[in-house]
């Protein structure tokens, strides 16, 4: 064999069929200039991924099919491989397939569909698609190719303790003695995913003893961030080319290929990957929703500082505005920290004290609160005054409000619904507090952007005198370990207690608190996912419930 293959790692937009097709054409032309024979595009690149219940709208499916047909007539050389929602012509089963088509010389030369449909975590593919019953290889320019679509490559017997599906489409393709393995994907980022993917793909290439080309989606779509990191491996599983992380990229590789590269995980450290994922997630959500500008409430604390710095990374300093809303419980340092941060980042800062507003609420509610002890109600009023002010400015300035709460707070309900939880996007909602500190250090790696005092001071909601997070919560190092055990690893109280050497009382109390605060998270903004288990669409919990892990 001998062929120049291109991987077009593009950033599609959910539902934007016209825009996605324009992009596919533009990138095909780039690949044509480089004399590519075949260009791979990501899974479902025509409708965008994940299109959710748009896939249940007949006019959407129709538009996607029409776009495919038109594109097929446009394509000459190189051939392109694109993903689309294909109709199931049978009256049995789900009405769609998760399909891919090889377009060449003005026609649809080959059509295949996904065999394994992920239906767990953030994936709901069985909701929409009928699985393909089989997946045959095909020939293109004399080369026998085996195409798998994302999950199709994730059912290797050697890899998993529990396999979710009886079929292994890649093994079946290998049995057909293909010359080249292709996989087009929309595989969302979480920290650590890249390594797993590489190990998995390498195993396939080695088993098949043929090269493998893996084209992944890039970009943010609501809560999901796709990281790109496309990959071409030689028949020994060594990388011949690697797509950029969190950027669009065009890879061009002559196959079978000669000189393997070292696998460069080092483009980004683990913490920079999180940083880049969040920056891409903010930027894409903001722009794909039609905003240019964002607002962040700046408390002087580390969460809002990190959120603001990420927003500047995503949108540019001229498109980010900080709002400081001090109360009598704000420490003097908080105000100056917010000012330093805004100055360091070069963002405009508005200052709106809330004491007077809070006073009027107290007067209005006084007669009805009489005889009741002071409790969290008074604290929430302040947080909700800030929420109201931020949303008023968001409405007036047509700027997206970013909420600043981290995953540890959201887990514990250490946050106010309609208060600090207000916003269009929960930037740090999947970032544990300990990782927020790491992000702050990363952001400050060249110079102090986030004031050192914001990082150093004990975290506080500053909603009553001398309040500290640690009055109510264990140290974040401990809390985050328990949360990771419960939410990401799925350990129960007993396992967590013994493995982390903590008291059962502490662990079960924390887990109960996670569960009790489900009602707040149900009304949270979309949370950018960066861990294997984020709050939001990938974690579906009942609110009214009678099970409390012990």
18 forms part of the interface with a copy of itself (CB under 8 A): yes
- Per annotation, catalytic residue among 125, 130, 150, 520: 150
509 forms part of the interface with a copy of itself (CB under 8 A): no
Please, what is the minimum distance in Å from the beta carbon of residue 47 to a copy of itself?
A: 8
Please, what is the minimum distance in Å from the beta carbon of residue 472 to a copy of itself?
A: 16
Task: Report helix, strand or coil for 388.
Answer: helix
26 forms part of the interface with a copy of itself (CB under 8 A): no
The residue count for binding a copy of itself (CB under 8 A) is 98
Task: Kindly report the number of other CB atoms within 10 A of residue 287's CB atom.
Answer: 15
* CA atoms of 213 and 146, how far apart (whole Å): 10
Task: Report helix, strand or coil for 171.
Answer: helix
Residue numbers 367-386 binding a copy of itself by CB under 8 A? 368-369, 372, 375-377, 380-381, 384-385
Q: Is 479 exposed, middle or buried (0-12, 13-18, 19+ CB in 10 A)?
A: buried
Pick 1 or 364: Cβ nearer a copy of itself: 364
The piece of 103-111, 334-342, 476-484, 533-541 that touches a copy of itself (CB under 8 A) is 533-541
Among 29, 76, 119, 269, binds a copy of itself (CB under 8 A): 119
**Nearest 5°: phi and psi at 202?**
-60, -40
360 forms part of the interface with a copy of itself (CB under 8 A): yes
Please, what is the minimum distance in Å from the beta carbon of residue 169 to a copy of itself?
A: 15
Pick 120 or 328: Cβ nearer a copy of itself: 120
Pick 227 or 234: Cβ nearer a copy of itself: 227
DSSP 209-245: TS-EEEEE-EEEETTEEEEB--EEE-TTS-EEEEPPB
Please, what is the minimum distance in Å from the beta carbon of residue 103 to a copy of itself?
A: 22
Which parts of 308-347 are beta strand (E)?
Answer: 320-324
Smallest CA-to-CA distance from 242 within 233, 298, 509, 234 is with 233
Pick 63 or 79: Cβ nearer a copy of itself: 63
Which parts of 427-480 are beta strand (E)?
Answer: none
The H or E element spanning position 313 is helix 302-315
Cα-Cα-Cα-Cα dihedral of 416, 417, 420, 425, to 10°?
140
Judge whether 390 and 297 are in contact, CB under 8 Å. yes
Pick 50 or 211: Cβ nearer a copy of itself: 50
At a CB cut-off of 8 Å and minimum separation 6, what does 198 contact?
231, 263
Q: Is 5 exposed, middle or buried (0-12, 13-18, 19+ CB in 10 A)?
A: buried
Please, what is the minimum distance in Å from the beta carbon of residue 327 to a copy of itself?
A: 13
Among 4, 16, 196, 203, binds a copy of itself (CB under 8 A): 16
Residue numbers 213-242 binding a copy of itself by CB under 8 A? 220-222
Provide the mask over 66-95, with x wherever binding to a copy of itself is found by CB under 8 A and - wherever it is not. -------------------------xxxxx
57 forms part of the interface with a copy of itself (CB under 8 A): yes
Residue numbers 440-469 binding a copy of itself by CB under 8 A? none
Please, what is the minimum distance in Å from the beta carbon of residue 442 to a copy of itself?
A: 26
Smallest CA-to-CA distance from 173 within 214, 203, 207 is with 207
- Strands 231-233 and 212-216 turn out to be antiparallel
150 is catalytic: yes
Paired tokens of 492: 């129960």
Pick 26 or 126: Cβ nearer a copy of itself: 126
Please, what is the minimum distance in Å from the beta carbon of residue 303 to a copy of itself?
A: 20
Among 424, 429, 451, 459, binds a copy of itself (CB under 8 A): 424
DSSP state of 150: G
Residue numbers 129-168 binding a copy of itself by CB under 8 A? 161-166
Among 14, 186, 233, 255, binds a copy of itself (CB under 8 A): 14
Task: Report helix, strand or coil for 400.
Answer: strand
Q: Lay out the sheet containing 425-426: strands in order across.
A: 348-351, 320-324, 294-297, 400-403, 425-426
Among 108, 350, 500, 506, binds a copy of itself (CB under 8 A): 350
- Per annotation, catalytic residue among 114, 433, 520, 529: 114
Q: How far, CA to CA in Å, does 225 sit from each of 320, 414, 441, 528?
A: 21, 26, 23, 7
Please, what is the minimum distance in Å from the beta carbon of residue 230 to a copy of itself?
A: 23
Residue numbers 255-284 binding a copy of itself by CB under 8 A? 284
The piece of 48-56, 75-83, 206-214, 305-313 that touches a copy of itself (CB under 8 A) is 48-56
Q: Is 428 exposed, middle or buried (0-12, 13-18, 19+ CB in 10 A)?
A: buried
* CA atoms of 246 and 147, how far apart (whole Å): 24
At a CB cut-off of 8 Å and minimum separation 6, what does 91 contact?
none
30 is catalytic: no
Among 1, 26, 34, 541, binds a copy of itself (CB under 8 A): 541
Paired tokens of 430: 């999947």
Please, what is the minimum distance in Å from the beta carbon of residue 222 to a copy of itself?
A: 5
308 is catalytic: no
96 forms part of the interface with a copy of itself (CB under 8 A): no
The piece of 74-82, 202-210, 226-234, 359-367 that touches a copy of itself (CB under 8 A) is 359-367
352 forms part of the interface with a copy of itself (CB under 8 A): yes
Question: Three-state secondary structure along 462-509?
Answer: CCCCCCCHHHHCCCHHHHHHHHHHHHHCCCCHHHHHHHHCCCHHHHHH
What count of residues does the chain have? Answer: 550
Please, what is the minimum distance in Å from the beta carbon of residue 405 to a copy of itself?
A: 14
Residue numbers 379-418 binding a copy of itself by CB under 8 A? 380-381, 384-385, 387-389, 391-393, 395-397, 417-418
Paired tokens of 43: 């899974």
Which parts of 373-503 are beta strand (E)?
Answer: 400-403, 425-426
- Per annotation, catalytic residue among 43, 125, 223, 409: 43
126 forms part of the interface with a copy of itself (CB under 8 A): yes
Catalytic residues: 43, 114, 150
């Amino acid at each position: 064999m001998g062929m120049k293959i291109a991987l077009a790692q593009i950033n599609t937009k959910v539902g934007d069929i016209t825009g996605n097709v324009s992009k596919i054409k533009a990138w095909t032309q780039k690949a044509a200039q480089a004399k590519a024979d075949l260009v791979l595009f990501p899974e479902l690149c025509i409708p965008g991924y994940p299109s959710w219940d748009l896939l249940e709208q007949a006019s959407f499916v129709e538009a996607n099919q029409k776009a495919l047909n038109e594109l097929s007539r446009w394509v000459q050389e190189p051939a392109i491989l694109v993903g689309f929602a294909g109709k199931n012509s049978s009256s049995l089963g789900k009405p769609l397939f998760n399909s891919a088509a090889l377009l060449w010389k003005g026609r649809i030369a080959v059509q295949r569909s996904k065999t394994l449909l992920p239906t767990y975590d953030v994936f709901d593919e069985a909701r929409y698609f009928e699985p393909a019953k089989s997946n045959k290889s095909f020939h293109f320019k004399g080369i026998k190719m085996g195409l798998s679509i994302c999950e199709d490559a994730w059912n290797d017997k050697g890899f998993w303790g529990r396999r979710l599906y009886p079929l292994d489409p890649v093994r079946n393709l290998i049995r057909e003695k293909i010359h080249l393995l292709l996989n087009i994907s929309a595989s969302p980022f979480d920290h650590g995913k890249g390594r797993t993917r590489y190990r998995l793909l390498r195993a396939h290439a080695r088993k098949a003893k043929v090269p493998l080309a893996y084209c992944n989606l890039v970009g943010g779509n609501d809560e999901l961030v796709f990281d790109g990191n496309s990959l071409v491996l030689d028949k020994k599983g060594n990388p011949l080319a690697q797509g950029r992380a969190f950027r669009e990229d065009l890879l061009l590789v002559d196959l079978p290929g000669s000189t393997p590269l070292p696998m460069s995980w080092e483009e980004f450290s683990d913490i920079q990957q999180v940083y880049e994922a969040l920056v891409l997630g903010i930027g894409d959500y903001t722009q794909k929703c039609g905003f240019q500008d964002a607002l962040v409430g700046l408390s002087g604390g580390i969460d809002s500082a990190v959120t603001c710095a990420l927003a500047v990374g995503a949108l540019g300093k001229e498109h980010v505005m900080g709002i400081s809303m001090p109360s009598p419980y704000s420490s003097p340092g908080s105000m100056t920290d917010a000012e330093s941060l805004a100055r360091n980042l070069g963002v405009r800062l508005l200052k709106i004290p809330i004491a007077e507003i809070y006073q009027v609420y107290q007067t209005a509610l006084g007669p009805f609160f009489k005889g009741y002890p002071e409790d969290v109600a008074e604290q929430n009023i302040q947080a909700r005054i800030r929420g109201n002010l931020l949303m008023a400015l968001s409405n007036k300035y047509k700027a997206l409000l970013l909420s600043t709460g981290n995953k540890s707070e959201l887990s514990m309900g250490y946050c106010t619904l309609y208060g600090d939880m207000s916003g269009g996007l929960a930037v740090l909602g999947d970032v544990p507090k300990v990782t927020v500190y790491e992000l702050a250090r990363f952001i400050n790696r060249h110079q102090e952007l986030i004031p050192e005092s914001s990082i150093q001071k004990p975290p506080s909601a500053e909603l009553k005198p001398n309040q500290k997070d640690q009055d109510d919560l264990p140290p974040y190092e401990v809390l985050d370990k328990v949360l990771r055990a419960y939410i990401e690893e799925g350990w129960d109280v007993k396992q967590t207690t013994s493995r982390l050497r903590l008291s059962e009382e502490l662990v079960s109390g924390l887990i109960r608190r996670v569960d009790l605060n489900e009602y707040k998270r149900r009304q949270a903004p979309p949370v950018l996912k960066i861990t294997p288990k984020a709050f939001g669409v990938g974690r579906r919990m009942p609110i009214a419930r009678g099970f409390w892990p012990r």
